[in-house]
Amino acid sequence: MSVDVLIPEAAIRDRLRELGGEVARDYAGKPLTIVAVLTGSLIALADLIRAVDVPHRIGLVHASSYRGATTTASTLVINETLAPDVADRDVLLLDDILDTGQTLAALVDHIAQRGAKSVRTAVLLRKIGRQTVPIEPDYCGFTIPDAFVVGYGLDYDDDYRHLPYVGVLKT
């Protein structure tokens, strides 16, 4: 398998700096906790927060969806072993990619139920034409066509996460 570059390293870096600046302006003086969805958003988290030049906490939550081979219906499993206390915090949920929207929508509800003061969302990527759950990310890095992408945290069979760019996997 080979990977065609879709979003080069420098473009991701520049965009995350921009988004980090926006987040810093929007959350200045607020009790911000950025909660990253493992594992795919780890690298985006590390780059984003270095551009968020206001005090904030970070937290992690693990979510995985198991999809049947013949259906797009999926069961989302949220593992909260690492989840931070978000009571009275303004939470910004960060995920790698918004595809159907199921993951992000479920996590927003979940974090709201745990007593967060506010919950907004950020995604590195948003795939066009796949969304089934109505949710608008508050911060979005790039919109991409409907293709399976890897790199910059996103995996295929737990590989390719280390690529410094986002690329399309070719079989």
Active site residues: 99
Q: Which residue is nearest to Mg ion (CB)?
A: 40
Q: How far is CA 45 from the centre of its chain?
A: 8
Out of 84, 86, 95, 165, the residue judged to bind ligand 5GP by CB under 6 A: 95
Provide, rounded to whole angstroms, the least separation between the CB of residue 29 and ligand 5GP.
31
Provide, rounded to whole angstroms, the least separation between the CB of residue 38 and ligand 5GP.
9
Which amino acid type is present at position 98?
A: L
65 binds, among ligand 5GP, Mg ion, none (CB under 5 to 8 A by kind): ligand 5GP
Q: Which is nearer to ligand 5GP, 60 or 154 (CB)?
A: 154
Stretch that binds ligand 5GP, among 1-9, 22-30, 83-91, 143-151 (CB under 6 A): 143-151
- Cβ–Cβ < 8 Å for 148, 156: yes
Q: Which helix (H) or strand (E) holds 9?
A: helix 9-27
Window 71-100: contact mask with Mg ion (x via CB under 5 A) = ------------------------------
Stretch that binds Mg ion, among 21-29, 37-45, 75-83, 145-153 (CB under 5 A): 37-45
Residue 148 interacts with ligand 5GP (CB under 6 A)? Answer: yes
Packing angle between helix 9-27 and helix 42-49, nearest 10 degrees?
A: 60
Residue with structure tokens 């399976």?
Answer: 148
* 57-67, strands of its sheet edge to edge: 74-79, 57-67, 32-38, 90-98, 118-127, 139-144
Q: Which is nearer to Mg ion, 33 or 41 (CB)?
A: 41
Provide, rounded to whole angstroms, the least separation between the CB of residue 95 and ligand 5GP.
5
- The DSSP-derived string for 78-115 is EE-TTPPP-TT-EEEEEEEEESSSHHHHHHHHHHHHTT
Token duo for residue 159: 């590989």
Q: Which is nearer to ligand 5GP, 92 or 154 (CB)?
A: 154
